[in-house]
């Protein structure tokens, strides 16, 4: 008899692609948000350093954005290929947030995210766990 088993494997992840809406009720507050394209804020975070790649903004920037379930978050490998997305579209725990519905980040010059912490390596929300 052949059976299927779940076996943990190690994978290399390098970055996190974040794609979140900037809703129109902000009345232009985020019109100059670096990396914003149309109504979407798209950026890539280096997981080890907590730095937004190619940020190129010389000043501090605070972003408090209600994204609800409208965001998409993708773990990428060192070649930039998708590895996993969360099961639900809440803001992942590694991104400073409130209740999984709001992104709440302070960004230093050169893209460093204040209070970035992925040291516990808990990316379980990106992978389905079968408890049956």
Q: What digits encode the pLDDT tens for the residues 62-87?
A: 999 888 778 889 999 999 999 888 76
Domain residue limits at 44: 15-126
Whether residue 63 is contained in a domain is answered as yes
User: What length does the chain have?
Assistant: 132
Asked if 20 and 40 count as a contact pair (C-beta separation under 8 A), the reply is: yes
- The percent of residues in the chain predicted with pLDDT above 90, rounded, is 35
Residues 89-123: tens digit of each pLDDT: 788 888 888 877 889 999 999 899 998 887 766 77
**Model pTM score:** 0.85
SS3 of 23, please?
A: coil
Q: What is d(CA 66, CA 12) in angstroms, rounded to the nearest whole number? A: 30
Whether residue 5 is contained in a domain is answered as no
SS3 of 110, please?
A: helix
Whether residue 4 is contained in a domain is answered as no
Q: How many domains does the chain have?
A: 1
């Amino acid at each position: 008899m052949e059976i299927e088993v779940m076996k943990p494997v190690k994978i290399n992840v390098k970055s996190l692609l974040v794609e979140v809406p900037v809703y129109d009720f902000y009345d232009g507050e985020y019109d100059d948000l670096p990396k914003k394209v149309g109504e979407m804020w798209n950026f890539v975070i280096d997981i080890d350093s907590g730095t937004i790649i190619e940020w190129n903004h010389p000043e501090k920037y605070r972003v408090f954005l209600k994204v609800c379930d409208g965001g998409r978050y993708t773990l990428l490998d060192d070649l930039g290929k998708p590895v996993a997305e969360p099961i639900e579209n809440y803001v992942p725990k590694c991104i400073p947030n409130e209740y999984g519905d709001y992104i709440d980040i302070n960004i230093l010059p050169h893209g460093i995210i204040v209070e970035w912490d992925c040291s516990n390596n808990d990316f379980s929300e990106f992978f389905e766990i079968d408890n049956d």
